[in-house]
Amino acid sequence: MSEDYSLKIGSTEILSEQLFADLSSPDAETKKKASALLSSRLKESRVRIGTLLKTDNVSFLIGAGASMRAGGVGLASIPVELEMGLIPKVAGAADDDKIPEWLPVFYQTASALCGKKFDLKERRAAIAGDLSNVSPIPLNLEDYLSQLYIWLASMPGLSSQIFVLDLGSEALDLSRTHIKGLILAINRSLASLCDLPTTGNESVLKDHRRLIKKTLTRPLNLRRANLFTLNYDNLIEKAADAEGAVLLDGFVGTLRRIFRPESYDLDFYFPAQTTEGRVHRFDRVLHLYKLHGSITWHRCALDWGNPYGLFATFYNQKIPADDVLIYPSPLKYGQALGLPYSELFRRFGSAIAQPQSVLFTIGYGFGDEHVNVLIRQALAIPSFTLVVIDPAPKSNFVEHLEDLGDERVWLVSGWQLGTLEHFVEKLLPDLREEEITSKVMKTYKALTPSPEGSESSTEEPDDN
């Protein structure tokens, strides 16, 4: 049970080992009491997180783990779904002359790097069947792409010039054209997998909808909450549409939405009921920052009307080559310094560095150093609070935070608390419902007769 529920504030574990031992007890009464205690502890924790949610500056950082239930893929190995996108499906593709030159290179280099033989024909036959029975190639995708870029940088001269690449077990005759074609194919296949939720997983959009709905219950006198995401998919946008929420995402326009980051400084208000009356702030607005780009962003020529050369539209299933994404590769740190990403990261650093700020990280494994450095800077501010939501945290970053025992760092883990699904269901409060419940309980206690002889029963009524 302890691997399912864990809530640590600094060095203090809110849910004790004894509690989980009692939950597994064969004695029915002990188990019942432990279950009630767990429910009570979770309720107390929900109140604490509700207090954080009322902080003036609230931000969420959403990583790949938050998209898994919707069909997202992990990059710890080369996803089978990505591999399927590389293999030609056109009629007659079995003929060698129909196979792109970079495809055999993919299997040859992957085999050499992981020390296991992968054959194009065998993999194509396997992927044509039940994907659940196909083991992925055991190579971290980002590490593999990094190796491709290293090889590409070591090949000077013409794109068509052939170089002998010594991989130890074999030598390959490759050119820059082969490597560039393979990198492009992998990137396009990866982008196509980000059109989520996948067929059959539409119902899991409720997780993102709950996150948005509950975040919108913050008091209107506070600053708008920020949703920062490293994901390319549009799950947040689709959930916001379903909830009738407005996302300020840095783009303005109607038919052709162009990137205008100053739009983040705008806000929405209801008009006053009378010419002399007060205006009312619209309560369904959030800020969205897609730090690594989006599958709906595209490049275009810079001009006076579009100084960033960037526009957003519906997702194009054909995956055009003008997409604007920071792919997992050694280039991503440099790309983050260019436009429009530098502007987005500047706003991320500024948001979490404000006094009285809270950052909730959901599904983020702390694998991006250009993100971690901004979080480290924020931790230098005494009023900053970091809440890490991760079912099984493994990063050195989180391990170091645990060792520090800092009370400003909360760690929500375990498979019954540390996922987006369970966090928004069990710990993230609906502040309006909490307020109503509090008022009902207060009224109930006021109307309930006090026990005879208690202090309250002997009080004299107030004549005033």
The CATH number assigned to the domain holding 405 equals 3.40.50.1220
Give the pLDDT score at 252: 92
User: Given 144, 162, 192, which residue is the final one in a domain?
Assistant: 192
- Say if residue 87 is in the same domain as residue 223: no
Domain count, the chain: 2
Domain for residue 205, yes or no? yes
Which of the residue ranges 170-179, 286-295, 324-333 has the most confident prediction, judged by mean pLDDT?
286-295
Judged by DSSP in three states, 262 sits in: helix
Q: Distances in Å between the alpha carbon of 65 and those of 136, 144, 349?
A: 18, 21, 22
Cα 59 from Cα 111, distance rounded (Å): 42
Domain that holds residue 273: 6-26+48-71+199-436
pLDDT band at 57 (very low <50, low <70, confident <90, very high): very high
- Say if residue 188 is in the same domain as residue 54: no
- Say if residue 226 is in the same domain as residue 373: yes
**Segment 92-132, tens digit of pLDDT:** 455 555 788 889 889 988 988 888 888 888 888 888 888 88
Domain for residue 42, yes or no? no
Q: 175 or 398: whose pLDDT is higher?
A: 398
Q: Nearest 5 degrees, angle CA 78-CA 83-CA 86?
A: 135
| Average pLDDT, integer, range 68-90 | 86
What is the percent of the chain where pLDDT is above 70? 83
- Say if residue 264 is in the same domain as residue 212: yes
Cα 417 from Cα 412, distance rounded (Å): 6
pTM of the model: 0.87
- Say if residue 298 is in the same domain as residue 277: yes
- Say if residue 109 is in the same domain as residue 184: yes
- Say if residue 96 is in the same domain as residue 209: no
User: Given 123, 157, 192, which residue is the final one in a domain?
Assistant: 192
- Say if residue 113 is in the same domain as residue 211: no
Domain for residue 41, yes or no? no
- Say if residue 148 is in the same domain as residue 165: yes
- Say if residue 175 is in the same domain as residue 214: no
Q: 309 or 390: whose pLDDT is higher?
A: 390
Domain for residue 35, yes or no? no
Give the pLDDT score at 108: 87
Domain for residue 458, yes or no? no
pLDDT band at 458 (very low <50, low <70, confident <90, very high): very low
Residues 6+ apart with CB under 8 A from 303: 309
Reply yes or no on whether the pLDDT at 462 is more than 60: no
Reply yes or no on whether the pLDDT at 184 is more than 60: yes
Domain for residue 379, yes or no? yes
Write the DSSP assignment of 280-343 as a string of letters: EE-S-EEEEEETTEEEEEEE---BTTBTT-EEE-S--TT--TTEEE--SSTTHHHHTTSTTHHH
Domain for residue 464, yes or no? no
Residue 320 corresponds to which tokens in the numbers above? Answer: 């055009």
Tell me if 287 sits within 8 A of 226, measured CB to CB: yes
Domain for residue 450, yes or no? no
Reply yes or no on whether the pLDDT at 90 is more than 60: no
- Say if residue 429 is in the same domain as residue 340: yes
Give the pLDDT score at 171: 73
pLDDT band at 214 (very low <50, low <70, confident <90, very high): very high
Half-sphere exposure for 63 (CA within 13 Å, toward CB)? 20
Average pLDDT in the chain: 84
